Amino acid sequence: MRFTVELELEKDRISKDKNRIILSLFKKAFSFYDKKYYKELYESKENKMKDFTFSLYMGSCTFLREEILIPEKKISLNFSTYNNKDGIMFYNSFLALKSKKINIQNNTITVKRINMVREKYITSNEVIFKTLSPIVVREHYGDNSKTWFHSLKDKKGQEVFKNNLKYQLEKELGKEALVDIKNIEFTPANTMKMVKVKNYGIEIHSNIGKIKIKAKPYILDCLYKSGASSLKSSGFGMLEIV
Amino acid sequence: MSEKIKVEMNDWLFNAGIIGFVNILEHSGDKVEKYDNYIEFKEEVLDDFEEKYFKYLIDTYEKQLSWNKIVSYRPIIEHFKEEGLDQFNKDNLERLNSYIKDVKYYTKSASYKAAYNLIESNKNVIELSKSLKTIKVRKKDTIESVLEKVNYSHQILEEIIDYMDNPSHKKYLAGKNVIYTIVKNSWNGISFLNPQTKEKNIYIDFKEYFVKPTTEYIEIDKSKYKYNCFNCDNQIKDLKNHYGFLNNIGFDVDKKASHVWKFNNDAAMCPICKLIYSCTPAGIMYVYNRGIFINDNINIASLINTNNKIKYEINNEEKISSGSTYKALMNSLAQKYNNKIKYEISDIQVIRYEDENYRFNILSKQMLNILNNTSEDLSKLINSGYKEINTYFNIYELVIDRLFNNQNLFTLVHKLLIFKLSSPNNCRFNNLHIKRVLNINKKFMEGMGFMNVKEKDIIKSASGSGYYLREKYRQKGAVDKLSGISYRLLNAIKTNNKDMFMDTLLNCYLYAQKSVPKIFLDALKDEENFKNIGYAFVTGLIEGKENGGDNNAK
Ligand SMILES: [Zn+2]
């Protein structure tokens, strides 16, 4: 399920660490609508993987040193999930928040319209995706001290990406899908590039652009709906079909 | 004095014959001793057995006979005889005309003609009925103008009724009726049902064909006979009495092997068994061309008790229709169930005769429990149905049929909803009936262990959600959109496509700007919940509450 939610800002500036703001909004919405569900998502297990992803569209914005300037004072929040329950909960939670003024950091956000986006139906074994939010290719070891962020354009990065997908898809689709997951192939476009995104105070190197992925349609469908690779439920890896 | 004759229980059809035999004798005041799995009787009870046979059948099935159609008009004629024709109106005339048509039709039919030949009387009924004519009132005229004709018709009709109702006539007229409406369902081709039979008197024919060979057989020394009765193993002289006269001996799952044997040429029976088999029309309860028999064979007494309950139920119906068999069956099962302590309940074999075939079902203890738990919902479905290509289907029967075969009701619910959407004029049911079907289905699935028993009433809650969403659409003046949406939802449920269902559902709630009820989170759990909740939701969505209550709630 895919939704677009129009958010209205009181002031035209928000922090560059924008995903953090949106995550607070998510948490406010979910805990307001259903505490149990909120706890399931954010308190039961640390870093619980979620079947959803999101991205932001900020119109003609300007990136300043510490902030983003949004003259229209509007953000479109795109939300996508592979899991119908999350879809229903997202919709219900944001509907419950609609027209309420939410104070986050030094701004006030109001949820305006909620729209459902018609999803595309994948039947082929090959799809070209475009990133709606950057793909994070993260390699990290047990303790958080050693974390590397890779480019999809080098070999090491591609290997890590594949592992990230394997980890994610096995959780989402179950062990039955393992054989098909192993057979995933992908080709990043030449135009793909690295960007730095501020996330919870640190700079994350991530990838934007187009990527061609070959896999069974149900795997592609899962990536399309739930996002790809690391940190997707924090606003990374949301894909659109080109 | 001769010793008593013993007949033991066997397969269901023979058991039906035993019950019939006992019913026939007891109806005439004869004594039969009943033991757990056999009966005993004295040879004398076979005196005039043919009279007892027909008497029982005529008395039991009287309401279904054309003979009864003719004589049951008598009170109306008597009423007008006493009151005069002052109050005779158009409705009375219409009824009279249709009655005249019936009388003319029956009185000249072959089986009636055959019966006249057995009756000693100088009345010529055919001539009498020829003189009867339906009465028309010309446009310009009033009903008074035909009263004389009415009076005349009444006189003729009374004469005909007197003739029919005379006990020594009735035995042949109604006897012929009973042969063709009832006995023929059980057996055919021999004795009075043999088209080439030389004996025209049905009583004598039955006596000669069934009773006499039996008494002779009882008396005779059988020790030198080299064959054995396939049914009771008694010695028999030859293999003449085969099983061919019994109609459609269906394949009873349990006894399949033995039935295969009966088709073999060397399977023959003794005259006693043949006589017993001839009594099956008195054991199986028929309503026109449908029959029912519960092979509750724990012992003879319970076999009789259970099946006579069916007979009682059917004959106490105000208006007997072929659907009466189902209702009577369910009531009989319910009574049986309630009379027993739970652990005593055991599997029951139910045999239904429909479309000239026997259908067998074994109702497990589990299923009897389910039927008992759903009896209230079931009873509300009795008058609900729909018409499809000129055939009327009764939902009550469709539900029972599926349950007996251990099938869930989802395809039926689907069909009902599609029908409601596509041809509401052919539907004699509303959303409350569908909810009843869903309730029964849920209990069935829980009872069979296909679904966990939940505290929550998901059917009520989901159909309520459908209703409230419909209300919202009504407020927005968009009720028209709901039929397309319903089709889409039904298609998603049928194909078990949760994504499509949820997508459509969310679009609806988004349009209504309402939150999605949490009951739908349950629908995501498994297929059973999804279908139950989905169908219940569409049920509420399609009709809402505006179409009033349960038609049959009375
Ligand atoms: Zn025998």
The residue from B249, B282, B315 where one domain ends is B282
Question: Is residue B482 included in any domain, yes or no?
Answer: yes
Distance between CA B413 and CA B367 in Å, rounded? Answer: 20
Same-domain pairing of B434 and B537? yes
How much distance in Å is there from the Cα of B268 to the middle of ligand 1?
A: 9
**Residue found by looking up tokens 């991205």 in the block:** A55
* Domain range enclosing B156: 65-176
Same-domain pairing of B216 and B158? no
How much distance in Å is there from the Cα of B275 to the middle of ligand 1?
A: 9
Task: Name every residue whose Cβ is closer than 8 Å to that of residue B536 and which is 6 or more positions away in sequence.
Answer: B435, B438, B458, B459, B460, B461, B462, B463, B466
Contact B23, B143 (CB under 8 A): no
Contact A54, A235 (CB under 8 A): yes
Distance from CA of B508 to the nearest CA of A (A): 10
Same-domain pairing of B197 and B168? no
The DSSP call for residue B191 is G
- Name chain B contacts of A91, Cβ cutoff 8 Å: 506, 509-510, 515-516
What are the structure tokens assigned to A54, written together?
Answer: 């999101």
pLDDT given for residue B472 in this prediction = 94
Residue B190 CB-half CA count within 13 A: 19
How much distance in Å is there from the Cα of B276 to the middle of ligand 1?
A: 9
- Name chain A contacts of B510, Cβ cutoff 8 Å: 91, 114-116
Distance between CA B211 and CA B279 in Å, rounded? Answer: 12
Facing residues of A147 across strands? A140
| B525 interfacial to chain A (CB closer than 8 Å) | no
pLDDT digits (tens, 9 = 90+) for B148-190: 999 999 999 999 999 999 999 999 999 999 999 999 999 999 9
Distance between CA B22 and CA B276 in Å, rounded? Answer: 10
Interval A100-128 mean pLDDT: 93
Nearest CA in chain A to B499: A84
- Name chain A contacts of B533, Cβ cutoff 8 Å: none
Residue B214 has pLDDT above 90, yes or no: yes
What are the structure tokens assigned to A201, written together?
Answer: 């105070």
Interval A131-152 mean pLDDT: 84
Q: Write out the DSSP string of B102-122.
A: HHHHHHTSHHHHHHHTTS--S
| B500 interfacial to chain A (CB closer than 8 Å) | no
Same-domain pairing of B151 and B191? no
* B178: exposed, middle or buried (Cβ count in 10 Å: 0-12, 13-18, 19+): buried
Same-domain pairing of B18 and B109? no
CB contact under 8 A, B502 and A119: no
- Name chain A contacts of B513, Cβ cutoff 8 Å: 95
pLDDT given for residue A49 in this prediction = 83
| B516 interfacial to chain A (CB closer than 8 Å) | yes
CB contact under 8 A, B503 and A95: no
Residue from the list B502, B514, B515 with its beta carbon closest to the beta carbon of A1: B502
Contact A82, A51 (CB under 8 A): yes
Coil, helix or strand for A194? Answer: strand
Interface test with B, best of A88, A95, A224 (most B CBs within 10 A): A88
pLDDT digits (tens, 9 = 90+) for B500-517: 999 999 999 999 999 999
Lateral strand order in the sheet of B348-354: B285-287, B290-295, B348-354, B357-363
Type of residue numbered A169: L
- Name chain A contacts of B499, Cβ cutoff 8 Å: 84
Interval A91-101 mean pLDDT: 94
pLDDT given for residue B135 in this prediction = 94
Question: Is residue B397 included in any domain, yes or no?
Answer: no
Question: Is residue B463 included in any domain, yes or no?
Answer: yes
Cα angle value A79/A85/A88 (rounded, 5°): 60
The residue from B282, B311, B337 where one domain ends is B282
CB contact under 8 A, B516 and A85: no
Provide the sign of the torsion angle of the four alpha carbons B337, B404, B314, B207, taken in this order. Answer: negative
Distance between CA A61 and CA B384 in Å, rounded? Answer: 65
Buried/exposed B71-104: b ≥16 CB within 10 Å, e otherwise: bebeeebeebeeeebeebeeebbeebeebbeebb
Type of residue numbered B19: I
Same-domain pairing of B526 and B414? yes
Distance between CA B214 and CA B209 in Å, rounded? Answer: 9
**Residue found by looking up tokens 């396939």 in the block:** B230
Q: Rounded to the nearest 5°, which phi and psi values hold at B332? A: -65, -40
Coil, helix or strand for B201? Answer: coil
**Average pLDDT value over all residues in chain A:** 92
**Average pLDDT value over all residues in chain B:** 89
Question: Is residue B412 included in any domain, yes or no?
Answer: yes
Q: Rounded to whole angstroms, what are the CA distances from A183 to A88, A178, A180, B69, B206?
A: 32, 9, 5, 79, 81
Interval B367-385 mean pLDDT: 91
Facing residues of A67 across strands? A15
Residue B399 has pLDDT above 80, yes or no: yes
Nearest partner of A44 among A35, A56, A54, judged by Cα:
A35
Task: Name every residue whose Cβ is closer than 8 Å to that of residue B172 and which is 6 or more positions away in sequence.
Answer: B115, B118, B119, B202
Distance between CA A179 and CA A171 in Å, rounded? Answer: 14
pLDDT digits (tens, 9 = 90+) for A160-200: 999 999 999 999 999 999 999 999 999 999 999 999 998 88
For the CA atoms of B155, B160, B162, B163, the dihedral, rounded to the nearest 10 degrees, stands at 150
Q: Enumerate chain A positions whose Cβ falls within 8 A of a Cβ in B.
A: 1, 84-85, 87-88, 91-92, 95-96, 114-116, 119
Every domain range in chain A assigned CATH 3.30.70.1900? 126-241
H-assigned helices in B108-262: 110-116, 125-130, 147-165, 167-178, 184-186, 202-206, 212-219, 256-262
Residue from the list A84, A91, A114 with its beta carbon closest to the beta carbon of B524: A84
Provide the sign of the torsion angle of the four alpha carbons B98, B99, B104, B110, taken in this order. Answer: positive
Distance between CA B10 and CA B37 in Å, rounded? Answer: 9
CB contact under 8 A, A116 and B506: yes
pLDDT given for residue A142 in this prediction = 64
Same-domain pairing of B21 and B107? no
- Name chain B contacts of A119, Cβ cutoff 8 Å: 503
Question: Is residue B255 included in any domain, yes or no?
Answer: yes
pLDDT digits (tens, 9 = 90+) for B231-260: 899 999 988 888 888 886 644 433 444 555
Facing residues of A111 across strands? A7
pLDDT given for residue A201 in this prediction = 84
pLDDT digits (tens, 9 = 90+) for B290-301: 999 999 878 899
Residue from the list B499, B515, B521 with its beta carbon closest to the beta carbon of A85: B521
Helix, strand, coil tally for chain A in percent (to 5): 30, 35, 30
Cα angle value B316/B322/B323 (rounded, 5°): 80
Question: At A97, is the pLDDT very low, low, confident or very high (cuts 50, 70, 90)?
Answer: very high
CB contact under 8 A, A91 and B509: yes
What is the third-level CATH fold of A126-241? Alpha-Beta Plaits (3.30.70)
CB contact under 8 A, B516 and A114: no
Every domain range in chain A assigned CATH 3.30.70.1890? 2-116
Distance from CA of B546 to the nearest CA of A (A): 28
Same-domain pairing of B134 and B195? no
Same-domain pairing of B416 and B537? yes
Same-domain pairing of B32 and B76? no
Same-domain pairing of B217 and B276? yes
Question: Is residue B342 included in any domain, yes or no?
Answer: no
Question: Is residue B362 included in any domain, yes or no?
Answer: no
| B503 interfacial to chain A (CB closer than 8 Å) | yes
Interface test with B, best of A3, A34, A89, A92 (most B CBs within 10 A): A92
Distance of CA B129 to the CA centre of its chain: 33
Question: At B80, is the pLDDT very low, low, confident or very high (cuts 50, 70, 90)?
Answer: very high
Distance between CA A41 and CA A82 in Å, rounded? Answer: 15
pLDDT given for residue B112 in this prediction = 95
Residue B140 CB-half CA count within 13 A: 0
What are the structure tokens assigned to A127, written together?
Answer: 């799809």
Distance between CA B346 and CA B368 in Å, rounded? Answer: 9
Question: At B330, is the pLDDT very low, low, confident or very high (cuts 50, 70, 90)?
Answer: confident
CB contact under 8 A, A91 and B516: yes
H-assigned helices in chain A: 18-33, 35-42, 84-97, 155-173, 178-182, 217-226
Coil, helix or strand for B229? Answer: coil
Q: Rounded to the nearest 5°, which phi and psi values hold at A58? A: -115, 20
Question: At B344, is the pLDDT very low, low, confident or very high (cuts 50, 70, 90)?
Answer: low
Residue B552 has pLDDT above 70, yes or no: no
Residue B479 has pLDDT above 50, yes or no: yes
The residue from B282, B304, B338 where one domain ends is B282
Q: Rounded to whole angstroms, what are the CA distances from A34 to A39, A40, A100?
A: 9, 10, 17
**Distant-in-sequence contacts of A152-159, Cβ < 8 A, 24+ apart:** A152/A188, A152/A192, A152/A207, A152/A211, A153/A188, A153/A192, A153/A207, A158/A186, A158/A188
How much distance in Å is there from the Cα of B290 to the middle of ligand 1?
A: 28
Residue from the list B510, B514, B515 with its beta carbon closest to the beta carbon of A116: B510
> Class of the A2-116 domain?
alpha beta
CB contact under 8 A, B521 and A96: no
pTM above 0.90, yes or no: no
Percent of chain A with pLDDT over 70: 97
How much distance in Å is there from the Cα of B348 to the middle of ligand 1?
A: 25
What are the structure tokens assigned to A177, written together?
Answer: 């899908």
- Name chain A contacts of B516, Cβ cutoff 8 Å: 88, 91-92
How much distance in Å is there from the Cα of B228 to the middle of ligand 1?
A: 8
Q: How many domains does chain B have?
A: 3
Angle separating helix axes B431-447 and B410-422, nearest 10 degrees = 170
Contact A7, A110 (CB under 8 A): yes
What are the structure tokens assigned to A61, written together?
Answer: 């914005």
- Name chain B contacts of A85, Cβ cutoff 8 Å: 521, 524
- Name chain A contacts of B514, Cβ cutoff 8 Å: 95
- Name chain A contacts of B524, Cβ cutoff 8 Å: 84-85
CB contact under 8 A, B515 and A115: no
pLDDT digits (tens, 9 = 90+) for A41-73: 988 776 678 899 999 999 889 999 889 999 999
Same-domain pairing of B168 and B210? no
Nearest CA in chain A to B525: A85
pLDDT given for residue B322 in this prediction = 75
Distance between CA A2 and CA A12 in Å, rounded? Answer: 27
Distance between CA B281 and CA B136 in Å, rounded? Answer: 43
